[in-house]
Structure 1
């Protein structure tokens, strides 16, 4: 693709993405800290570029692709983070009781013991993730870096851990 093009088509950008995929994935992996996230982001970017109109004049189409991919990954991370926080709050909402009486105290103790038992049944990684999120207040990327796994795997393991805990608490009540 030449820089002299007055109008850069989306199809030409898609072709450039295919031609420079390995280079873009490497650069994006360094930016995102995950090869899987880079692959998913470039795939989504490729699909979004299936448009009939023109992009316009681009000085550096490769940098345009990389910047677009980083922005897309950032938007996806924000959306997933909001969704995970919403799921976390919904999951914990059932445990809150604003006016504890004797029955509530006994129920709270049962719930606490059920939660402790459910946490003991989690895999060590799931337990580390749920503790890091709920008690240490770490973000999913921070946990991913700590455990040397992808943010996506952190999200999946967190969802599994929460689902397990909710199922165990549901068995008690």
Structure 2
């Protein structure tokens, strides 16, 4: 499946972005997008689909940065006031966060630790590997497995 392309895609994006950390972040986001897709239709060309998803994320991020640089600060502040989350949205966010915490608690220690060190603490894969005394490929597998598990569990709980 798409897990086989992780390192290849990180290297590809690193060459374009010039920053391995940013490349890894984009790849993680691309994996999440692919894993969270709601279509039941199988992906015919998973490698191409994953690359296109990652490149779209890079383009979207670039567009957001360009807009952010040209928009006056007071306009952004005004929009933030208009679009502050409703109490219902805040409650939904809290419920989703609780579901994520429950899903993470179900994971084996090393899998959960890799995921939290990456997503919460912002450590790179080599830093996590060194801290935990495991290989980078094991770190990558744990993070992908944690993302899959959380996605599946949150979907199950959302439906139920």
Distance across 1 between alignment mates of 2:127 and 2:156: 32
Partner of 1:162: 147
TM-score (norm 2): 0.50
2:128 pairs with 140, 143, 164, which one? Answer: 143
Matched, 1:103 2:43: no
1:53-102: per-residue Cα shift (whole Å, max 9, x none)? xxxxxxxxxxxxxxxxxxx9x9589579666422433539x8xxx64212
CA 1:148–1:107: 2 relative to 1, 3 Å: same
Partner Cα distance (2:124, 2:144) in 1: 14
1:149 to 1:77, Cα distance in 2 relative to 1, 3 A: farther
Q: CA RMSD in A?
A: 3.2
Q: Which residue of 1 aligns with 2:157?
A: 172
Q: Does 1:124 align with 2:64?
A: no
Q: Go from structure 1 to structure 2 and tell me whether the alpha carbon gap of 1:110 and 1:150 turns closer, same or farther (over 3 Å shift).
A: same
Alignment gaps of 5+ in structure 2? 1-7, 37-82
Whether the 8 Å CA contact 1:133–1:139 is kept in 2: the answer is: yes
Instruction: Work out whether residues 84 and 155 of structure 1, in 8 Å CA contact, stay in contact via their aligned partners in 2.
Output: no
**Post-superposition, which runs of at least 4 consecutive aligned residues in structure 1 deviate over 4 A?**
74-84
Q: TM-score, normalised by structure 1?
A: 0.47
Higher helix share: 2
For these two proteins, the number of residue pairs brought into alignment is 97
Structure number with bigger Rg: 1
Matched, 1:86 2:71: no
Cα distance in 1 for partners of 2:12, 2:115 equals 21
Q: 1:114 to 1:124 in 2, by over 3 A?
A: same
Q: Are 1:144 and 1:154, in contact at CA under 8 Å, matched by a contact in 2?
A: yes
